[in-house]
Amino acid sequence: MSKKKSKLSKEKKMKREDNDFRPDVKDDAEFASEVAPYPVYPVDAKEDDGQVGNETESTPVLGWIGLITAIVSLFFLPAILGPAAAVLGFISFLQGNRTLGAWSIVLGLVSLFVALFLSPFY
């Protein structure tokens, strides 16, 4: 009996030492459930009623138009088509077509840079 009693008292001491900063709390399960944030559930497409603020699927059409505009701006009207390609690329980038948008921005700005700074020397 004494061994069993000493074993139980050691377990109680260990539990008490673990919770010294909150000696009155025996089980943290209830406390954790009160502090935990509510779970966030994704909105299903079936529940989407088309309200303002809900995003629709983005298509890469605007990105391709921006890229074509950027390539054309390297050869024709770079001061006008270069910034237009950069703006189209930026909008495409924000819609999620990051690669097409980045290429359009870079090529449009390179075309504008060449038109403004390098072409006066030729």
**Higher-scoring residue by pLDDT: 54, 64:** 64
Instruction: Report DSSP letters for the chain, one per residue.
Output: -HHHHHHHHHHHHHHHHHTTTSTT----HHHHHHHSPPPP-PPPTTT----TTPPPPP-THHHHHHHHHHHHHTTS-HHHHHHHHHHHHHHHHHHT-HHHHHHHHHHHHHHHHIIIIIGGG-
Confidence band, pLDDT 50/70/90 cuts, at residue 44 = low
Give the model confidence (pLDDT) of 99-113 as tens digits.
999 999 999 999 999
